[in-house]
Amino acid sequence: MKVLVIGGGGREHTLVWKLAQSSRVSQIFCAPGNAGTAKIAENLDISDGDIPALLKFAIDNNIGHTMVGPEVPLVNGIVDEFESAGLRVFGPNARAAILEGSKVFTKELLAKYNIPTAEYHRFTETSAALDFLESNTTYPIVVKADGLAAGKGVLISLSKEAAQQGVREMMEDKVFGDAGNEIIIEEFMTGPELSLLCFVDSKTAIPMVSAKDYKRIGEGDTGLNTGGMGAISPNPLYDDTLESYCLKNIIEPTLEGMRQEGRPFKGILYCGIMITPQGPKVLEYNVRFGDPETQVILPRLKTDLLDIFEAVVDDKLADIDIEWDEAAAATIVLASEGYPEAYPKGLPISGLDDIISSVVFHAGTKLQAGDVLTSGGRVLNVTSISPTVADALKTSYENSELIHFDGKTIRGDIGS
């Protein structure tokens, strides 16, 4: 079968790498891909947001299965378009992808179906939001843009003034465009975080092994939020009791709620959870694989990934046995200097061929005249599998030292 993977980050390199292990896959295309996917797939010069061009390619090239990595095309209805054309495609349709596309929708759903999450208020008027903050006495508080903002639409404000400034930037200055037309102001929660990802078809949800993402740029969880600077799997806090609790009180009622709302969900459901002193609560939903969580989850998967994706498309997930490696995994992100703010691009990367005991998943890289150059904020993910998380981390950190580009930035406390 010919397979198309949409996207060009570390998550997509990992997806391509895993799908390439399937005996049923004859050829993989990746749109647009990166220098890593170029080695095992054919990269296409089509952006991951260009739905008409992606659809045309899939039809013209007899693609048997399309896997959509990022959220933007999902929220914009790529699955609807592919299904209308009779193509087999993995991911939620636009009506279900709203779970990531609108934080207001999700908070209302969680409230309606009694699913634990932070207390919140929604605002469409700047003045009402500012008045609310004027009378609020508890800080920090969290301000969130309703729509997609490339992971940047969440502001943890330590003071009234900072929160009010955030509100003005979102609602008046439109720093996130229309995503800030409506905002949520919610209670600040504390506790360790957990990323719980599930394969979901119309009837069944099967959790994957757990992961922990390190979102802040600075060591000790300081500085700006990023897409994620590293990840480990399993999450050390995770056990069967926590899994059962989250499935029963969070995942299953969410999926049932979506069915009740006439928005049945299929694909990957990623639940960001905070384990607060009052118990696990939902931070957010994503409707896709996490990045860099995928880089530590999929290397532990023993089952053929295409078999799982196909079972989801056919609503036969209950019939498949999904097996995982007991070993642990760790990934370290090598980022560009300045990320998550402005950073240089086009810098040469060396040392990639010296890596033997880790797998390097590329993110922001591109090939130019045979050279691998940086092309994004998160550049590479050095990933290792070992019996323990500590060993996997040690191997990834050692191998990260062998790779060079100007301004290479690594968080030294992944796993802590």
Nearer to ligand AMP, 62 or 190 (CB): 190
Return the range that interacts with ligand AMP (CB under 6 A); candidates 76-84, 185-193, 362-370, 396-404: 185-193
Q: Is 110 in the site for ligand AMP (CB under 6 A)?
A: no
Q: Is 286 in the site for ligand GLY (CB under 6 A)?
A: yes
Q: In this structure, is the dihedral angle defined by the CA atoms of residues 339, 344, 346 and 351, taken in order, positive or negative?
A: negative
Q: Which two tokens stand for residue 248?
A: 């029963």
* # residues near ligand GLY by CB under 6 A: 8
Q: Name the binder of 154 from ligand AMP, ligand GLY, none, CB < 5-8 A by kind.
A: ligand AMP
* # residues near ligand AMP by CB under 6 A: 14
Q: Name the binder of 12 from ligand GLY, ligand AMP, none, CB < 5-8 A by kind.
A: none
- Residue 260's φ and ψ, nearest 5 degrees, are -60, -35
Q: Is 291 in the site for ligand GLY (CB under 6 A)?
A: yes
How many CB atoms are located within 10 Å of the residue 294 CB? 30
d(CA 153, CA 176): 7
CB of 83 to ligand AMP, least distance (A): 28
Residues from 208 through 227 that contact ligand GLY (CB under 6 A) = 213, 227
Q: Name the binder of 182 from ligand AMP, ligand GLY, none, CB < 5-8 A by kind.
A: none
Nearer to ligand GLY, 273 or 311 (CB): 273
Quote the DSSP letter at residue 247. Answer: I
Beta bridge partners of 28: 3
Q: Name the binder of 100 from ligand GLY, ligand AMP, none, CB < 5-8 A by kind.
A: none
Nearer to ligand GLY, 33 or 228 (CB): 228
Among 228, 280, 364, 376, binds ligand GLY (CB under 6 A): 228
CB of 237 to ligand GLY, least distance (A): 17
d(CA 4, CA 206): 24
Q: Is 18 in the site for ligand AMP (CB under 6 A)?
A: no
How many CB atoms are located within 10 Å of the residue 389 CB? 22
Among 153, 267, 290, 364, binds ligand GLY (CB under 6 A): 290
d(CA 294, CA 298): 6
Nearer to ligand GLY, 166 or 228 (CB): 228
* Helix boundaries (H) for 212-367: 240-246, 252-260, 293-297, 305-313
CB of 246 to ligand AMP, least distance (A): 15
Among 13, 18, 65, 215, binds ligand AMP (CB under 6 A): 215
Q: Name the binder of 74 from ligand GLY, ligand AMP, none, CB < 5-8 A by kind.
A: none
Residues from 119 through 178 that contact ligand GLY (CB under 6 A) = 151
Q: What angle (nearest 5°) sits at the alpha carbon of residue 10, between those of residues 4 and 11? A: 55
The owner of tokens 């397979």 is 3
d(CA 349, CA 366): 10
Contacts of residue 370, Cβ cutoff 8 Å, sequence gap at least 6: none
Q: Name the binder of 291 from ligand AMP, ligand GLY, none, CB < 5-8 A by kind.
A: ligand GLY
How many CB atoms are located within 10 Å of the residue 170 CB? 27
Contacts of residue 221, Cβ cutoff 8 Å, sequence gap at least 6: 214, 215
Task: Name the nearest CA neighbour of 149 among 132, 129, 169.
Answer: 169
Q: Name the binder of 186 from ligand AMP, ligand GLY, none, CB < 5-8 A by kind.
A: ligand AMP
Q: Is 193 in the site for ligand AMP (CB under 6 A)?
A: yes
Quote the DSSP letter at residue 348. Answer: B
Q: Is 136 in the site for ligand AMP (CB under 6 A)?
A: no
How many CB atoms are located within 10 Å of the residue 27 CB? 14
Q: Is 189 in the site for ligand AMP (CB under 6 A)?
A: yes
Among 126, 175, 206, 272, binds ligand AMP (CB under 6 A): 272
CA atoms within 13 A on the CB side of 14: 26
Return the range that interacts with ligand GLY (CB under 6 A); candidates 82-90, 163-171, 284-292, 396-404: 284-292
Q: Is 142 in the site for ligand AMP (CB under 6 A)?
A: yes
Per-residue exposure over 128-167, b if at least 16 CB sit within 10 Å of its own CB, e if not: ebbebbeeeeeeebbbbbbbbbebbbbbebeebebbbebb
Q: Is 112 in the site for ligand AMP (CB under 6 A)?
A: no
Q: Which residues bind ligand GLY (CB under 6 A)?
A: 151, 213, 227-228, 286, 290-291, 293
Q: Which residues bind ligand AMP (CB under 6 A)?
A: 118, 142, 154, 156, 186-189, 193, 215, 225, 272, 283-284
